Amino acid sequence: MTTASPAEEAIYNAARQFADPERLSAYLDFACEGNPPMRERIASLLRATPAAEDFFGRNAVNVSKLPGLTDADATVPTPLAEGPGTVISRYTLLQRIGDGGFGAVYMAEQREPVRRRVALKIIKLGMDTQQVVARFEAERQALAMMDHPHIARVLDGGCTETGRPFFVMELVKGQTVTKYCDEHQLSTRQRLELFIPICQAIQHAHQKGIIHRDIKPSNILVATIDGRPVPKVIDFGIAKATQLDLTDKIAFTQFHQFMGTPAYMSPEQAAMDSTDIDTRSDIYSLGVLLYELLTGKTPVEAKELTRGGYDEIRRRIRELEPPRPSNRLTTLSNDELTTVARSRAIEPARLARLIRGELDWVVLKALDKDRSRRYETASALASDLQRYLDNEPVMAVKPSRIYHLRKFARRHRVALATTACFALLLAVSAGISAAQAIKNKSLFTAAEEARLNEINAKQRETELRRLAEEARATAEAERDSNQRLLYTANLNLAKKDWDELNVGRAIELLEMHRPQPGQPDLRNFEWFYLDRLCHRDLLTLKGHTAGVGSVAFSPDGKRLASTSSEVKVWDATSGHEVFTLPGLTNGFSKVVYSPDGKRLSAGSGNRIVM
């Protein structure tokens, strides 16, 4: 192995994990495509492992049937592998839940110092070359530097007994972001609201000097926590340090080594020059993910992208211009479009119209082949999407007066609609007046025409005033209605908060309806009752010599009347007795205030006393 190149060493180590001769042969054909001499050298290396049988015993694999391997006694060692039940440090492996480019991910159980389920990632057998181990350790250190609610946290790390590194991270029980959005039928707005924290997580990584370089749906899991979708970015397995040396071992990406997923790969990644990758490469991948969330498709289909060899794949990534998302939807079949629209809870005909325009420009800015024209940061992309959600001008669109006026109209559509109605009314009135004036001019003399014009002007002014008064009265009625609805809703919430001992919030809701000078007072008995509950201890009123039959608060809540053999009126604030009405022999059964609070009536048998 001393004369083998790094590429041959990686292929050799990967080939050692195949136990099936046919699969091993297929792997060598694929890995050494177009380079028969290298395939023969690796085959020779596999044959020239005399100590393999002694080391691996019965796990050795016969390779005599492989093309180019003629020695009937030749063997290829099959390395031992972890599996469910294997104990690594303080963790017991439960099941294999995923595979990265260089590591396998297991669900594991930690027993000390706390008992919990975690995700444990360990380097794959046969992939432990110096470069891969260095990259894996870089991933472990990269994640350890992260501290963001939308990035999976690193909990622990170490090496197995055979020296293979592993790290432990929080177990994210979720679905890929695209699958979650489709199964929960999230609308376009909800998808954008979910995408924004993903951008913020990538921004955090960039601020730590880390480029993810493999952003795709399977590396972003979404779980429902407290009824809300929470995304988590995982797998920084091929992350690159932009500011820090994450490991002192050799961790440089091999020249012409194909890293990442082609459908989500930036043009500069496809160029295979690892020294020319910066954070804007992740912006491109975020643009592809956003494209897929909006349309259900990547800018270029994976099947179309991967036709041909590596050179053709790289050419397509660098040169194929993505269609606008709204145009991409028009190329889908009716069945595909129906499925995509249904998963977004929208009619197929409306989906393309919703995306056309601002969202087209935001996506295309992120996907620009020239990275100098992309968003500078993931945070800038998130901010532009938030501006879109807030109906504010987005930075991806070249500013123009018409564009800004359109955005202003969206934000103030109610006020503008009212103004437009008045303008239309004035225009109609002016048209009617003009027609009337033309008719009068043909019938009357100039003096009569002037008199009629004056009359018409007064009538027009009177009509406009009447219409304005009606509009004002309607607006005030709507405002009063809305205020009463708000008052009722807030009083219900305040009562609920009081019942739940949230007195502070109840007081806040009550204070919202304490009238300011010049404002109408909507408060009734219930407001004063709750206010007294929140601010004062309960009062005990004593004074009746017999049992109390009924009580009633005055409409303003300031007084309380009670009946027994007599009627007593109390100050509801201080609890002092104000006055007493003489009683009847049989006593009073009910007491009622008049609506204006100025009168009081009490009933006894078939008699009413006022």
The CA distance from 364 to 297, in Å, is 15
Catalytic annotation present for 29: no
Catalytically annotated residue among 214, 235, 282, 531 = 214
What SS3 state is found at 457? Answer: helix
Q: What distance in Å separates the CA atoms of residue 430 and residue 139, rounded to the nearest whole number?
A: 74
Q: How far apart, in whole angstroms, are the C-alpha atoms of residue 118 and residue 90?
A: 11
The number of angstroms, rounded, from the C-alpha of 32 to the middle of its chain's C-alpha atoms is 44
> What's the per-residue H, E or C state across 27-78?
HHHHHCCCCHHHHHHHHHHHHCCCCHHHHHHHHCEECCCCCCCCCCCCEECC
Q: Considering all CA atoms of the chain, what is the largest pairwise distance in Å, rounded to the nearest integer?
A: 126
The β-bridge partners of 561 are: 552, 569
* Gap between the Cα atoms of 4 and 606, Å rounded: 115
Task: Give the 3-state secondary structure of 236-254.
Answer: CCCCEECCCCCCCCCCCCC
Can you tell me the distance from the alpha carbon of 322 to that of 304, in angstroms, rounded to the nearest whole number? Answer: 13
Spatial separation of the C-alpha atoms in residues 489 and 499, rounded to whole Å: 15
Distance spanning both ends of the chain, measured CA to CA: 113
Each as own residue / partner, the long-range contacts of residues 20-25 (CB below 8 Å, 24 or more positions apart, any chain) are 21/61, 21/62, 21/63, 21/65, 21/66, 24/61, 24/63, 24/66, 24/76, 25/66, 25/67
Residues 378, 203 contacting (CB under 8 angstroms):
yes
CA pair distance 561, 543, nearest whole angstrom: 12
Residues annotated as catalytic (active site), given as ranges? 214
